[in-house]
Structure 1
Amino acid sequence: MFNFETFKQKSPQQRFLFILGLVMFLFYLILGGMLIFGTQLLNQIQPLYRMLLGGLLIIYALIRFTRLINQKPEED
């Protein structure tokens, strides 16, 4: 699981990539939520397909998050 000690020990580049991964996770999660719950976003798409795309984006965000949290520390 996530350990704050390993986060403190990461190099600045690894820390930046970790934060960028969190930002992308939030982007996909929010975009998926906007597609599902937003009525004005992409009104041309049928509601069923909009919900499926939103659900797919949320699932993808969760997969990215689990891969980000379960990263093994690299041995240099």
Structure 2
Amino acid sequence: MLQNNKKQKSLNRRFLLILGAAAFVCFLVLGLMIIFWAKLPLDMPQYQRWIFGGVIIIYSIVRFSRLLKKEPDEE
């Protein structure tokens, strides 16, 4: 019989993982909408929309990477 030495994540940790993944998807979609959706009512020139959307996408990636980073007490 195989033994699995990994601990199961707590309910609180799993909830925060799901919530963080949902926030990642929302920020990613928001950034893409700002960049590519021309009818979005923002009073900005196109280059500012690219910069603003890019910053939001970078922020979502940073949030997701911090979400997946293993904490020292979970090793």
TM range (shorter): 0.7 to 0.9
CA RMSD of aligned residues (A): 2.0
Q: Which has the larger radius of gyration?
A: 2
Change in CA separation of 1:71 and 1:41 when aligned onto 2, cut-off 3 Å: farther
Identity %, equivalent residues = 43
Quick one: higher RCO (CA 8 Å, sep 6+), 1 or 2? 1
Partner of 2:38: 39
Relative to the length of structure 1, the TM-score reads 0.80
Report the residue type matching 2:36 in the other structure. Answer: F
Structure 2 gaps of 5+ residues are none
Describe how 1:2-21 pairs up with structure 2 within 5 A: 9-21=8-20
Q: Secondary structure at the match of 1:9?
A: coil
Cα distance in structure 1, aligned partners of 2:20 and 2:42? 29
Moved over 6 A (4+): none
- What CA deviation, in whole Å up to 9, does each residue of 1:2-40 have, x standing for no partner? xxx86x711111100110000000011000000111111
- The number of aligned residues is 70
Describe how 1:54-73 pairs up with structure 2 within 5 A: 54-72=53-71
Report the residue type matching 2:16 in the other structure. Answer: L
Report the residue type matching 1:32 in the other structure. Answer: G
Partner of 1:28: 27
